[in-house]
Chains A and B, each alone.
Chain A
Amino acid sequence: MPAALTLFFQAMFARSYARVIWMFRNRTWILQETLLPMLSVAAFAYAYRAMNAPDRFVGYVVLGAAMTAFWFNVLWSMGAHLYWERDSGNLELYIMSPAPMMAILAGMALGGMATTCTRAVAILVTGILVFDAPITFEHGGTALGVFGLTLVALYGLGMMFASLFLLWGREAWHIVNLLQEPVFLMTGMNFPVKIFLNLPLVIVGSALFIPLTAGMDAMRQLLFTGTGDRLMALEYEVAILAGLAVFFVVAARWLLTVLERKAKVDGKLGLRWQ
């Protein structure tokens, strides 16, 4: 294997190791990452029950909570992470080292996916057991494939965010906060996005630019409802996700090069507490 490729994989696994080992060293996450999402799942599940919504809506909320874990991971542990690394003084070391930054980002994504998958499964299982969500695994294999594709697109977006965050200072915290509720709304985290069909096409198009929208709609079709609440046919959603995955990973690579250079020129690589 060429030395550059070996270095890439070594750096990637080294960066993901730190994320995965954390799960075994600090076990508070079991409580933290399952109990907290379950409280909001409970609130929304009871809201749907109070409104006499069909049972599958509780399933949507549980699936939404599991996918929220990935979105939070993308925002806080991918997007904002280089900003934090800069604040803690590690970013200079990353840049100085011979390891490619893309490998660091890929390692962060890989480690993040592994740890968040554990949390998401815990949320899903607890939610299904506690709230008796009517899930079916008839198309489980396809759902798993769609889920994998969604994650590639989502973490590609996360890698893109990470480079963008190199430009930001204290506003990074607020931008991450700002990317929560609006994204929950646009992606239909707790409700079928089918209700957006009456809205202008530009809104639906913008929503579909976030991988969670097509990913969750496709998974809902496969795990809960069939075609009842779907936004569009499964094949189109898979095609959208594949397109987004390629686009975000390529864009992340390009942005990283451009913005790392800009951060160096502007003297922002080591600038803290601004």
Chain B
Amino acid sequence: MTDLLRFLDNAAGNLILVYFLLINTFYFLFNVLSLAGILRYRRMVTFVRFGEIFRMPIVKPVSVIVPTYNEELGVIESVRSLLSLRYPVFEVIVVNDGSTDATLAKLIEAFDLRPSKSVFRKSLETKPVRGIYRSAVQPKLIVVDKVNGKKADAMNAGLNISRYPLFCAVDGDSVLEKDALLKVVRPFLEDPVRTIGAGGIIRLSNGCDIREGQVVRIGIPRNWIARFQILEYLRAFLGGRLGMSMIRSTLIISGAFGIFRKDIAMACGGYRAASITEDLDLCLRMQKHMHEQKKPYRIHFIPDPICWTEAPESLRVLARQRSRWHRGLVETLVRYRRMFLNPRYGVAGMFAMPFYAVFEMAGPFIECLGYALFASHVVLGRVNYPFAVMFFFVAVFYGTFISLLAILLEELSEHRYPRPRDILTLTAAGVVENLFYRQYLAVVRLWAFLEYLRGKNEWGSMEKRGFAKVGQVP
């Protein structure tokens, strides 16, 4: 019995070690690929005048769809930012998904909305639409009021109403930079047949000042949880997604800011209404569809069109958000398990899905197993303390190194945090996050997996503070 336990103990130890080495090596490789990608992108767009799209006689119009649910604090700024986008032809469709707060009333007041008798083609099934409003002051704006049916359902309602061949999904609490649409649409102009989707980078607006729907001052928030998330987003988007996009294995385009071909999305049946991570679900479904149709396709990640969004600043709300993301990931991977290691689905099936399954879905199990093993060794008095301390520091510095690479990528791409002090703060966050934050998120994700097994399929509410205006302390 003791031998068996010792064997299991050793096996678990080795598994953790191999996992640790593999995950960090992959992240390192993605960062190297991203570095090459950013340098190439910088050279490719030198002397490009994004404004020349305005002079193009024939442009690809875009429908910007914004699902909102209880976003009364940020929705006006967000819609203003969308209406002030630099793009020749676009419409903004705000879908009020049965908000219980004053979201609709604020929209009606701010944009002088009037009920419209628009008739639309119900290509996708959605919860009933209560009314369609058009603005008397902003001809590009359409507001749809519907019965609550979650974000995917709201997106489908927006798709039914939309008129243009490309649609851009934007979260109701997000702010797009003026040129974001011009930049993100570029792959559709350069390779219109193969490009089916493109996404930009999401940055956190916590600590920034927003005026007239635009970020006017960029800063690092005082809240450490938000600081950790800034680094996480940099790692995820600049390190991870750009790296994966370089090897054509983009599995997800963020729902906060992504642009897609409408015909392909419609051919896949739009968003799956029951999904809680509708962005991942749609992206996977579109890829599956293209592979099954044997049509070549591309999904691009572009590092500089920026979407600013608000991150949770309390552990409770953060846990809810991450729990939903993890449950959604597990649910989507399970749903599309047929693609898993199936050569028919190309890199998506052979690499991206297994990577997400092993390192994102199963990751929390292995991490938590490590913590449990360490705790049991402490209780049994079997800890080799010098080794444990050394290993801990190796883990911390490997994590810090990856975070520093993400900061370097940020410096090379957009260089948005203006003060040298910001680099110091972000580096400090990269060290400190290893002490509690990462462990906390591992436990949250493990818990989310168990909740998924128990059949939980809720969104969980996210408390919003609204964007910080100029002169207001965020």
Q: Tell whether A and B belong to one assembly.
A: no
Q: Which B residues have a C-beta under 8 Å from some C-beta of A? A: none
Residues of A within 8 A of B (CB): none
